[in-house]
Each structure stands twice: as C-alpha cells, then as structure tokens.
Amino acid sequence: MTPIEILDPTVEPRRQPLTFVARPDSLKGKRVGLVENTKFNSDRLLHRIGEILINDYGAAECRMWRKHNASVPAHAEILEEAKRTVDVVVAGIGD
C-alpha cells in the first residue's frame, strides 16, 4: 500500500489581546446603562437588575438601549451615547 499525505482543512483563530476597562470599586453614584437584546422579557429582566443596582448598590440612575436585534453587536449610536452618558454598562445574551 502507498502512504497518503493529506492537508489539514482547519485553522487556528487569530489570537489578539483584549483590554478591559478597570471595574469600579463601587457602584455608588454611578450611572448605569442597560443594553437590551430584543428577546422576550429581556427588558423586564434588565429593569429588575437596574432597580437592584439603584436600591441595593447605590447606583445613581439607569437608562436602557435596545439593539437592532439579538444577533448583532450594539450599534454605533448606542456605543457613542453610552460613552457620553453612563459610567458602567450591563449587557447580556438572553433567550
């Protein structure tokens, strides 16, 4: 039998460093942004999280944005407004 040499069809994803902003020590007085992903009840869940952050953790206020749909990242307008108007953001993938 003749040995056979085959080529690997896979690739390794490109590695890249990701830098995270330092987390605040406390939420006291912080403005919180909530990013809603359009799935059923995700807004209700985030509203409840916002209430807890204000009542139990002393956050100053909450505001919410809605993505175009669940499968895309938050669009540019959300990111620009969040940078200007809030200190921390809560986002998640709900289904």
Partner 1 sequence: MTTALASKRHVVADISLAMELCYERGWTDGLPVVPPTEPAVRAMLAAAELEPDHQIAFITNRQVAVTAEKVAINAVMAGCLPEYMPIVVSAVEGIAEPVWGYHGPATSTGGAAVFMIINGPIGPRLGFNCEDNLFGPGWRANATVGRAVRLVMRNVIGTLPGLLDRGTIGNPGKYTYVIAENEAESPWTPLHVERGFAAGESTVTVMSAEGPRQFYNQLSSTPEGILKTLCDDMRHHNSTGGQPQYVVVLAGEHMRTIAAGGWSKSDIRKYVFDNTQVSIAHFKRTERLPGSVTPQDETTYKSLLAEPEDVLVVAAGGRAGAFSCYIPGWAGGRRSSRSVTKLIRERRA
Question: Which residues contact partner 1 by CB under 8 A?
Answer: 1-11, 13-14, 16, 38, 68-72, 95
Nearest approach, Cβ of residue 64 and partner 1 (Å): 18
> Could you give the strand order of the β-sheet that contains 88-91, starting from the edge strand earlier in sequence?
61-66, 31-36, 88-91
Nearer to partner 1, 3 or 26 (CB): 3
Rounded least distance, CB 83 to partner 1, Å = 21
The closest of 64, 77, 71, 68 to 94, measured between CA atoms, is 71
DSSP 8-class letter at 71:
T
Task: Return the structure tokens found at 49.
Answer: 């999280």
Residue with smaller CB distance to partner 1, 4 or 22: 4
Closer residue to partner 1 (CB): 56 or 95? 95
